[in-house]
Structure 1
């Protein structure tokens, strides 16, 4: 393990000055215009302006009309050996087919017009050319010229295209709508506490920041806020992916949409409307899905050219078969080419994966702010971690208790716990936390004094109890176990001493506790061959101890906040792809400099401009999930693009009739089935995406 530092004069704090802690300040969220639950519209239930319900209705009505069209069709009569002949049969066939053409074909005709206006010819224009050609020619043969009609092919083509788009839209919509479905389940009313503490049921829309609400057991939390009274466990699984219910108590944040457990919570509302966590997540998902990846840019260009390839192939096919055979065959081949060559699968190959991966990420507490950086995350080969609050919990915890002879470990902690309860210092909080965890009773404390830079002193049962740094012991020539103290200090721990009437009672060591999950993530990253670097403002002794314990590849210590981005830039030299994991506030410049900026420790504050990915659960293990999802997404995109491109290379010549001599003929209806299946295969493949 290598160790670097920038040469600044930092010293280990073994007195009450403790470590240098990051201060997590609040962010102002992006201002979104959609009001949660009311104005937010889905993107994926629309297709060229047509809803999934509309495609479904048009499909069933067109299918019903296609049954009599099939019965009246000359081709079906010949195939099954029956004959239909009555006055007006041709007109009836024309009438039913006209209804299917205009009613069932409307989404495609309007879509084609939009593509013409936008000068972006594509799938809808190709489908429309095919059905218009089939309809016009069939009408001419029915009333004016000799030839076979294509009414059966026209009707089945439209029915199959409607079915294909309906299935495809359902496939796309399933994942991306999941978060929006949560909004519908949000409570419409909340229990507001008035100035006298009485409960008044009001509409959630009427609540504003600063209002106080009460949440009963089993109810959904209506809005984001801070708990000011109560204790409960809260199920946030649908929002953050955290499978285990989270314990919530006074001073902690509550997320709107989470389900309250067995306790009663009183909450100060902090965010409403589009500022809430859930609304911001939905907006982020929507924004991420609109961001085009490099693969999507390639696919769009290919799809655009495919349109012209289809037109040219269709014209060549028509000309060839017309000169070598009859016009009916030539027209059928051309219509089949136009249908089968639709660039639909190619155009949707990457958006389908984008939609699915963004939704999976959000459900697992990974919020993707920069789609392009996320898609390149699998190339990362060096990850830089901030220490405090990222690899560690960011709070002091008791690690060692060493009582002197004649006093128990519990009694020593009880004395320190009783005195430190009066202090707000990070060291004091660590001792108080340990005392509460052990359920120790407090002594009655009097005459509390803060000895600036030295410690605390107070009276317990008439005796003077002092909590001091080692400097005080040296000044007063009070002997202590120097060997044990030095050993603890070498590990980067802060050591305090407890005196009773100037007699040493023992020492207590504290440290910024390393997260259990940090061990796992560093071990896994090392296995993957990804270099792990810890960058911290702490002194070399503390940094090296933590780095060695975790198994980091490299440690860079004593770095001032403004120097972090320069260090990241240096780590990118030699073509290294670098990710930076930090708290999103103090580490903002470094996150922006990195190839992939990952914000951790922000909790439900998702509006971190410099981060590419926000880890909502503040769990370093989610870094592995980010890298895995990025790689899996890339694989799915490549699979879909290869399939979509390969399908067109094979299908267009078959549709043109290159194997007609061998008896292999693709009718327009079969062409429509194949084209729809190619898109559905891409959609299903995208739905199979998951985090291993």
Structure 2
């Protein structure tokens, strides 16, 4: 069955236009701050704020409060007593100075948390900001009451150090989130703001990219960024598309080929005719796909959100219970209050709230940077449990072009001589089989002889004069029509395998046969091997002849194959495999693959495929490299491991820290102050952030490895195909 025609990957995902990017570049982040809105499902987003400005704000508040903490420590009676400096540091009115300095720290440094408290109460979803705000408010109000007459001890110094640690933790955390999302925001910055548009008179004028429309022509000079998707109408150059596709090598392109907006022009000036604008452009579609992926609900995130809400109520009730128990036990109010504040601080579900979103941000960044575009995150997470990957054949496992599978010489000739005569003749033809013969000769280092008097033999082949000889390359039908024979068991075996066999005649005598087949991608061998290492079976689905499918399956070592499958039967074959209790991924690139992509548990479209296939898929492989299928599945497993590790740490940490915060270690002189509790809580958050960032070490999973040879150590041979000359 003929595949749908291939198209370049530019513009095949669904999307967002450059004119929208000013208002839609706030890529979803994973933080849950008091100054951010929280989407249902737990994915926090920027809420329109500039993350860089917020990071700077937290940094500024931290340093101001840290400076003020020094005199607060010096004026605190408890610190003076510990250092024996009461006489040196105490002075009339020092309590009021301490109150004033602490008030600045409370209102200025604690303001983000107080705002967060109001937002969480407004949404009726108390969380981290509620706990922090309650802790610092209780500490501040109680200490201020002591300054103005209530009997007790102030602990302004603990209030100040608690706020310092919380600000520092948020600052570090936001930098981690910014780093995780930075690569995605960099996609938006790939397009230049202005470009050189050619006028009807041939002059150039600098115009904003947003003003370009289809049909406009722009000049892209060496080293410039391509401003928008378009067709090269003049000149040729190499283009660096690494930020778009992950392909590190520059891609050579000339007239009639498409250039992708955001790629970097190499050494030549080119004129490009604008073909796509707005949300049709490839880069805009990638940005939208990434945005949608980060906004997709995650089952793991839902679990983390529920756990965080439970932890919030446990902290509030536990804090109140701790206060009551210590007071009943006869402890002083100051001591009991300190224990309560410590419990509420250390139980903040900050790490739990970040456990999954940070991993999501890093994995989305990794995939986008390497041309692996996730359209449905839930399906991506399910990929870790797959049992089978079913590949379409033509254009996915194979290159969709002819190559020389074998040469059978006859009459004492050599294989090189037979191929030399055939390639010289076929060099004059544009037929796909002719081009395959010429490529096969070039790969073997065979030079072409000069050709004269070339002419086609309609439906039978072609002939020409080469070095004074009459040379023909013909089909089996020509031999039968002219009572010629070429009996050789090797030729019969090649034909049985589904190869296309053509015969070479020299001065009327058959001197050999050339077998051609669809070329198996070298990367396909490694893909199948790596999937086996993951415990995943590889199968193939094709409309090609059974002999062709069998040959490809045997060469690649596939677990099973389905041949001669009609377009409307592909989804049915996927259901057959699923009916065995297996979870299935389908990899395809054509319109006829779309139903199977939808039916599968994970639909993967190769980026050179059609729009319909891509719209039906959960994941798009920009590079059309089958090894990226392994990369997606391996990265899915690595992502899930990081989520599980973070959730385990965030919950396990509280199981140990909460009893210590409540004072269970008091009999062994183990007591945690609110500041130490805040440090532990912040450390837990930082550990979760660092562990998420360590997912970047999985970059090797999404970087295509060097091709490996076929099992016999030789260059992989082309697969058979049922097409005839």
Match of 1:544 in 2: 550
Q: Is the 8 A contact 1:228 1:250 kept in 2?
A: yes
Query: Residue 583 in 1 paired to residue 589 in 2?
Result: yes
Partners of 1:231 and 1:519 in 2: CA distance = 34
Question: What are the within-5 Å matches in structure 2 for residues 256-335 of structure 1?
Answer: 256-323=261-328, 324-335=330-341
Instruction: Please point out which of 57, 72, 76 is paired with 1:73.
Output: 76
Equivalent residue of 2:592, what SS? coil
Q: Is the 8 A contact 1:382 1:531 kept in 2?
A: yes
Instruction: Please point out which of 551, 565, 568 is paired with 2:571.
Output: 565
* Distance change (3 Å), C-alpha of 1:606 and 1:641: farther
Match of 2:711 in 1: none
* Distance change (3 Å), C-alpha of 1:445 and 1:222: farther
Note the alpha carbon deviations across 1:164-196, whole angstroms, 9 max, x for none.
Answer: 011011112213211322433543333434446
Question: What are the within-5 Å matches in structure 2 for residues 298-377 of structure 1?
Answer: 298-323=303-328, 324-377=330-383
* Distance change (3 Å), C-alpha of 1:390 and 1:197: farther
Q: Is the 8 A contact 1:24 1:585 kept in 2?
A: no
Structure 2: unaligned runs, 5 residues or longer: 37-48, 701-725
Match of 2:706 in 1: none
Q: Is the 8 A contact 1:135 1:154 kept in 2?
A: yes
Partners of 1:512 and 1:228 in 2: CA distance = 32
Instruction: Please point out which of 147, 153, 159 is paired with 2:152.
Output: 147
**Matched length:** 669
Q: Is the 8 A contact 1:233 1:262 kept in 2?
A: yes
Partners of 1:595 and 1:90 in 2: CA distance = 67
Q: Is the 8 A contact 2:228 2:276 kept in 1?
A: yes
Partners of 1:248 and 1:604 in 2: CA distance = 21
The CA deviation at 1:492 is 2.3
Instruction: Please point out which of 115, 128, 136 is paired with 1:131.
Output: 136
Match of 1:38 in 2: 22
Partners of 2:275 and 2:468 in 1: CA distance = 46
Query: Residue 383 in 1 paired to residue 383 in 2?
Result: no
- Comparing 513-522 and 426-435, the one that deviates more: 426-435
Instruction: Please point out which of 241, 248, 253 is paired with 1:248.
Output: 253
* Distance change (3 Å), C-alpha of 1:550 and 1:107: same
Query: Residue 633 in 1 paired to residue 639 in 2?
Result: yes
* Distance change (3 Å), C-alpha of 1:146 and 1:562: same
The CA deviation at 1:638 is 1.1
Question: What are the within-5 Å matches in structure 2 for residues 516-555 of structure 1?
Answer: 516-555=522-561
* Distance change (3 Å), C-alpha of 1:204 and 1:508: farther
The CA deviation at 1:230 is 4.2
Match of 2:682 in 1: 676
The CA deviation at 1:62 is 1.8
Q: Is the 8 A contact 1:36 1:279 kept in 2?
A: no
Note the alpha carbon deviations across 1:184-233, whole angstroms, 9 max, x for none.
Answer: 35433334344465554433232233333343333332223344454443
Equivalent residue of 1:71, what SS? helix
Equivalent residue of 1:311, what SS? helix
Note the alpha carbon deviations across 1:255-307, whole angstroms, 9 max, x for none.
Answer: 32223333444433333344333332232222222223222111111111111
Question: What are the within-5 Å matches in structure 2 for residues 195-210 of structure 1?
Answer: 195=200, 199-210=204-215
Equivalent residue of 1:141, what SS? helix
Partners of 1:506 and 1:264 in 2: CA distance = 48
The CA deviation at 1:663 is 0.8
Equivalent residue of 1:165, what SS? helix
Match of 2:189 in 1: 184
Q: TM-score, normalised by structure 2?
A: 0.85
Match of 1:94 in 2: 99
The CA deviation at 1:345 is 0.9
Partners of 1:455 and 1:686 in 2: CA distance = 61
Match of 1:20 in 2: 2
Equivalent residue of 1:44, what SS? coil
Q: Is the 8 A contact 2:523 2:625 kept in 1?
A: yes
Q: Is the 8 A contact 2:7 2:608 kept in 1?
A: no
* Distance change (3 Å), C-alpha of 1:500 and 1:37: farther
Q: Is the 8 A contact 1:390 1:601 kept in 2?
A: no
Q: Is the 8 A contact 2:451 2:464 kept in 1?
A: no
Partners of 1:518 and 1:685 in 2: CA distance = 33
Q: Is the 8 A contact 2:423 2:438 kept in 1?
A: no
Equivalent residue of 1:148, what SS? coil
Q: Is the 8 A contact 2:409 2:511 kept in 1?
A: yes
Q: Is the 8 A contact 2:12 2:610 kept in 1?
A: no
* Distance change (3 Å), C-alpha of 1:360 and 1:442: same
Query: Residue 168 in 1 paired to residue 173 in 2?
Result: yes
- Comparing 558-567 and 57-66, the one that deviates more: 57-66
* Distance change (3 Å), C-alpha of 1:332 and 1:111: same
Equivalent residue of 1:533, what SS? strand
CA RMSD across the alignment: 3.0
Query: Residue 61 in 1 paired to residue 64 in 2?
Result: yes
The CA deviation at 1:89 is 2.3
Query: Residue 426 in 1 paired to residue 432 in 2?
Result: yes
* Distance change (3 Å), C-alpha of 1:607 and 1:534: closer
The CA deviation at 1:408 is 5.7
The CA deviation at 1:630 is 1.1
The CA deviation at 1:596 is 1.3
Partners of 1:413 and 1:28 in 2: CA distance = 37
Q: Is the 8 A contact 1:397 1:434 kept in 2?
A: yes
Partners of 1:310 and 1:34 in 2: CA distance = 46
The CA deviation at 1:128 is 0.8
Equivalent residue of 2:166, what SS? helix
